[in-house]
Structures are given as structure tokens and as C-alpha cells.
Amino acid sequence: MARHKVTVIGAGNVGATTAQRIAEAGLADVVLVDIVEGLPQGKGLDLAEAAPVVGHDARISGTNDYADTAGSDIVVVTSGLARQPGMSRDDLLAKNAGIVRSVVEQAAKHSPDSVLIVVTNPLDAMCHVALQASGFPRERVLGMAGVLDSARFRTFIAEELGVSVEDTHAFVLGGHGDTMVPLSRYSTVAGVPITELLPPDRVKALEERTANGGAEVVALLKTGSAFYAPAASTFEMVESILHDRKRVLPCAILLQGEFKTRDLFVGVPVVLGAAGMERVFEIELTDEEQAAFDRSAAAVSELVAKLG
């Protein structure tokens, strides 16, 4: 099998952990890029030196030069500022928009056929920037948020019911912010909706903890934001694309009429395969769920408008 190549831009917490997961799974060769000189090279070398112990043959290196990223199958964008305590994802908007625009322009030039996975926050707005800066079709510009938000919901459901996370599935739709829409009716343990397993007030508490999941970690860490679960979630998307697995995963994509929404990046379930987003997986929403989805979409729309 030909070797795959994945570029990870931003050699910080999320980027380096994502690079480690991809390399250690032997999924692809990884190029780490950062604006700070020496940082991606140092982390790349350190990760390469772990390979004999871990037992994989993926090549991993770091660079400040986009020429080294040429021909990547996937480009993961994590560069930007992380959220500090008391700072909302939206505060990051202008600063990170500039960073994402510049890195995507350079990466897209060297890997014109790649799939872009955006991780930098505020996520949905950064996807708009990446779509514009790359000129890629919507199938190849995806935002990582739903997998993470669903993973958090799954963690809390499994803990509450004392069951394995593996038998726990969850769906979280909408923007990656306080208005996200955890869909409890479609969240299940061994196929049984949690609305049949837990009283309404407990379901609501778990939904609220999910929507606040990022901030909960930020408040504990004090000097940065979550990275283990974001990296694991990004890895799951990368793996589904490189192995053409057609996993059904919630991702931020540019909606073109699906879920009654147009020209806006919002999180919805999609089929992820070699071509990137291969199909939007539309599901029926109740009026109440659609209203929550619309509120979340409106919050994204407001941010996008601020981008100008």
C-alpha cells in the first residue's frame, strides 16, 4: 500500500498530539508545521525517536517551510491561539482568522488535492475562512467539532449509567459553541435512547455539561484548552478518510440546503471517505430540535458576518 502523507499545521498541544496518534498508528507519514522556528523540528525529531520503541515505520518530521508539505492527502489545521480562562471561543475570531487564512493559502498551494480538516476555534467560522482561502469544494473542507462534542456526551452518559463507552453512542449537531445541539433522542446505549434510560432532568444535565465541555477543561487547566480528546477526534476523521471507511461522523460542513440551512458551516452527520465528505446524512428533526439547530446556525452566522 502506498504511503499516505498528512500535514499537521500548528505543533502545539492539539497538533503534536494528533501527529503522534497518526504516526504511532502507522496511518501516514506526518509533517508538522509551525511558525515558531525549531518547535516543529524538535517535536518531529522527538516523535521520530519514539518510533523504534513504539514500533512503527511512519516518517515524521517538522518544518517551517510549506514546500515540505507538498502532496499531502490531508492537511489538519490547528494553528492559532488557544482559549484562556474567561475567554470565549468568539474572542479568538479575528486573530485566528488571520492565521488560518495564511496557513491554508500556503498549504492548499502545495497540496491542491488534499482534504482540509480545520480544528482551530472558533471552529465553524474558521471553516469559512479555510474554504475561501483554499478555493476547495465543500467536500474537502471539514471542521472537527462534532466527534469531540459527541465523545464528551458519550463519556458523561457512560459514567452516569455505569456502562461501557463503547456501547454508548451520541449525536451532537449544530455549531461548536454554547448553542450546540446534543440530540438525546438519537443518543443511545446498546441501541436504546437515553431518554428511555434516564429521567428528563438528568438528560438535561448531561446535555448542559456537554455544551460546556470545552470550558470545563479550560477552567481546570487554566493555561490552555483541551487537547487529548480533540486530537483523538481528529485522528478518527483522518483514519476514516485515508482508509475510505465511510464512517458516519458529525463534522462541520458547508450546508447547501440540508437541515434547512444554506451557505453556512454547521455540524451535521456525514459519510467520511476517500473523497472527504461523501454524503450528508440527513435525519428527521422534531420542531423543537430544528429550532435549536436554527438558533445554533444563527450564532454561527453572526460570527461569520463579523469576519466581513
Contacting residues toward ligand APR, per CB under 6 A: 9-15, 34-36, 39, 78-80, 82-83, 96, 99, 102-103, 119-121, 224-225, 227, 230
Handedness of CA 103, 105, 111, 112 (dihedral sign): positive
Cα angle at 261 between 195 and 207, to 5 degrees? 25
Beta carbon of residue 221, minimum distance to ligand APR (angstroms, whole number): 9
Q: In what order do the strands lie in the sheet with 5-9?
A: 60-63, 29-33, 5-9, 74-77, 115-118, 141-143, 247-256, 262-273, 276-280
Tell me the residue nearest to ligand APR as measured from the CB.
Answer: 12
Q: Who's near 223: CB < 8 A, 6+ residues apart?
A: 84
Beta carbon of residue 231, minimum distance to ligand APR (angstroms, whole number): 9
Report the residue number, 23 or 280, with the smaller CB distance to ligand APR. Answer: 23
Separation of alpha carbons 261 and 300, rounded Å:
12
Instruction: Look at strands 5-9 and 74-77 and give their pairing.
Output: parallel
**In 10 A of CB 119, how many CB atoms?**
28
Beta carbon of residue 198, minimum distance to ligand APR (angstroms, whole number): 29
Separation of alpha carbons 58 and 61, rounded Å:
10
Beta carbon of residue 33, minimum distance to ligand APR (angstroms, whole number): 6
Beta carbon of residue 218, minimum distance to ligand APR (angstroms, whole number): 9
Report the residue number, 107 or 206, with the smaller CB distance to ligand APR. Answer: 107
Q: What secondary structure letter does DSSP report for 174?
A: B
Report the residue number, 206 or 226, with the smaller CB distance to ligand APR. Answer: 226
Report the residue number, 120 or 187, with the smaller CB distance to ligand APR. Answer: 120
**Strand (E) positions, the chain?**
5-9, 29-33, 60-63, 74-77, 115-118, 141-143, 168-169, 172-173, 181-182, 188-189, 192-193, 247-256, 262-273, 276-280
Q: Cell 517535536 belongs to which residue?
A: 43
Report the residue number, 33 or 173, with the smaller CB distance to ligand APR. Answer: 33
User: Max alpha carbon distance in the chain (Å)?
Assistant: 55
Report the residue number, 75 or 206, with the smaller CB distance to ligand APR. Answer: 75
Task: Extract the C-alpha cell encoding 26.
Answer: 502507522
Beta carbon of residue 15, minimum distance to ligand APR (angstroms, whole number): 5
Separation of alpha carbons 275 and 277, rounded Å:
6
Q: Residues with catalytic annotation?
A: 176
